[in-house]
A and B are shown apart, each in its own frame.
Chain A
Amino acid sequence: MITVKNLHKHFGNLEVLNGIDQHIQPGEKVVIIGPSGSGKSTFLRCLNLLEQPTSGQIFFEGTEITSPKTDIDAIRCRMGMVFQQFNLFPHLSVMDNITLAPITNKLMTKEQAQKRAMELLNRVGLPEKANTFPKQLSGGQQQRIAIVRALAMNPDVMLFDEPTSALDPEMVGEVLEVMKALARDGMTMVVVTHEMGFAREVGDRVLFMDGGVVLEEGTPKEIFETPQNARTQDFLRKVL
């Protein structure tokens, strides 16, 4: 579904990504872990070109999205993204937050979009919040709405950039529950997270990144129980 070939990203002289090759299968749940500054968020943001790679290629469902000829907006309609800071639109109601993009991109009529929004709001347990504004909601509720907003586009893959890192501890669970349900439904997911429990439970494959490269990858069992790389062992000792 997503193929990444020799991906490099520099910020000035700083090399953040140093040659990444990955292939993500449809339906696969890939969890990316690693210390701060390892490049894991940058890697995720390259996948929908929120960061422009310095060199390398990324293919999504057969289309090279790194080619300047590609209509990146059309590609992004099929890739949902959830941010650490939620990034809900504060001037719009929850309903408008969810339906803005499907309607503006002419994927749905207003009625269809609102119907879909209510379905999804029901699924995350927030149907009564449709007409409130983001700032009236808790962090956990906001992040669940942000997930709904991304899902409303009916994406083929969901990218999660540390979705629980900005939450109060007691709100992490409700967001992870939504993500687990999504995983059970067969969504292709790429998740950058510090939630090792989630990585172990939901991940099909875990990538350990450090210094802009994938140092080690494998099933959660392999990575968490028998890590081979010294850096991986060191990192896991500190976080577990």
Chain B
Amino acid sequence: MLSTLMLGAAEAAHATIFDQWWLGMKDQALAGTLDFWQNIYKEIYQNVLFNNRWLNYFKGMGVTLEVSFFAALFGVMLGMLLAMMRLSHVKPFQKLAGIYVGIIRGTPMLLQVLIINFGLFGSFAIDRVIIGVIACGLNSAAYVSEIIRSGILSVDKGQTEAGRSLGLSSWNTMQLIVFPQALKTSLPALCNEFITLIKETSILAYIALTELTKAGDYIRSKTYSAFTPYIVSGILYLIVTGVLTKLLGKLERRLRQGDNR
């Protein structure tokens, strides 16, 4: 049934080379006698090539990247603020940040997303991308704050003392001396967190945001291929996380120029 539908479309005026190949297999496909490689081609044709379906994945990847980027930005900024609050000498700030981190880390992200989507923004017409950025950013901030906090604590106290003894304000000491060193030690853990964040945006499929996972799911709902659409989505996730790992590795090596070479 499905194959017949698609054969019809492929016979239309602007058939590409891929459509031609598919047409060549038409009889075997209808008879159900495709060999192994033909079967693989059939899967790729139906789930990627036909009807420009590959565009769906790339659009989904675009949304995933967009949400991840802004959520990471938001998460890092809020995370830094939370880390500063926890390390400040103001008790209410410490408490507040501690409670926030406790709640976010102690509840499932899916639940957080659902609460933000239906509870907080349920009665507003807001772009789901923005909801995704807020939900993922709020979640990531808790983890980022812990990473940065431990990074700051790992910088020797003598560094702060040296900075302050030179007449630098506590803000300048933090910003120019402690923070760059903390960032260097935190970078591997931060890289990990960014990769986690990219993968966790897939939870947003649950609130019908068509990101990379949902895009694959959409194709599956069209073709009933149980495997291929998800594999394609998976490969695209791997490419994104792989590139990110490479880039952050480069940055890490640059920051390490003060070490023994």
Chain A interface: which size bin?
20 to 34
Contact A89-B167, Cβ < 8 Å, known A133-B258, A135-B260, A136-B260: no
Q: Are A76 and B158 in contact (CB under 8 A)?
A: no
Is A91 touching B166 in the complex (CB atoms < 8 A)? Answer: no
The reply on B123 being an interface residue by CB < 8 A is no
* Interface contact B257-A150, CB-CB below 8 Å: no
What residues of A have a CB within 8 angstroms of the CB of B164 in the complex? 50, 73, 76
Instruction: Write the nearest CB–CB distance from B252 to chain A, whole angstroms.
Output: 13
> Which of B158, B162, B260 has the most A CB atoms < 10 Å from its CB?
B162
B180 pairs with A104, CB closer than 8 A = no
15 contacts between A and B (CB under 8 A): A75-B167, A77-B166, A81-B162, A89-B159, A91-B180, A100-B166, A100-B168, A101-B168, A133-B259, A135-B258, A136-B260, A136-B261, A150-B165, A150-B166, A153-B166
- State whether B162 touches A89 (Cβ < 8 A): yes
Tell me, yes or no, whether B6 is within 8 Å of chain A by CB. no
Among A74, A88, A133, A136, the residue within 8 A (CB) of B167 is A74
A83 to B255, CA, bound (A): 25
Q: Which residues of A contact B (CB under 8 A)?
A: 48, 50, 73-77, 79-81, 83, 85, 87-92, 100-101, 104-105, 133-136, 146, 149-150, 153
With A74-B167, A101-B168 in contact, do A92 and B158 touch (Cβ < 8 Å)? no
Best-buried of A89, A100, A150 by chain B (most CB within 10 Å): A89
Partner-binding segment picked from B55-63, B169-177, B187-195: B169-177
Known A77-B166, A87-B161, A149-B166; further 20 A-B contacts with Cβ < 8 A: A50-B164, A75-B167, A76-B167, A88-B162, A89-B159, A89-B181, A90-B258, A91-B184, A91-B255, A101-B167, A101-B168, A104-B176, A105-B167, A105-B168, A134-B258, A136-B260, A146-B162, A150-B165, A150-B166, A153-B167
A134-B181 Cα distance, complex, nearest whole Å: 14
CB distance from A11 to the nearest CB of B (A): 15
User: Shortest distance in angstroms between A221's beta carbon and chain B's nearest beta carbon?
Assistant: 32
Complex Cα distance, B146 from A205, in Å, reads 50
Cβ B165 vs Cβ A48 within 8 A: yes
Once the chains are docked, how many angstroms separate the CA of A146 from the CA of B159? 12
Cβ-defined contact, B158 with A87, below 8 A = yes
Residue in A50, A88, A92 whose beta carbon sits within 8 Å of that of B165 in the complex: A50
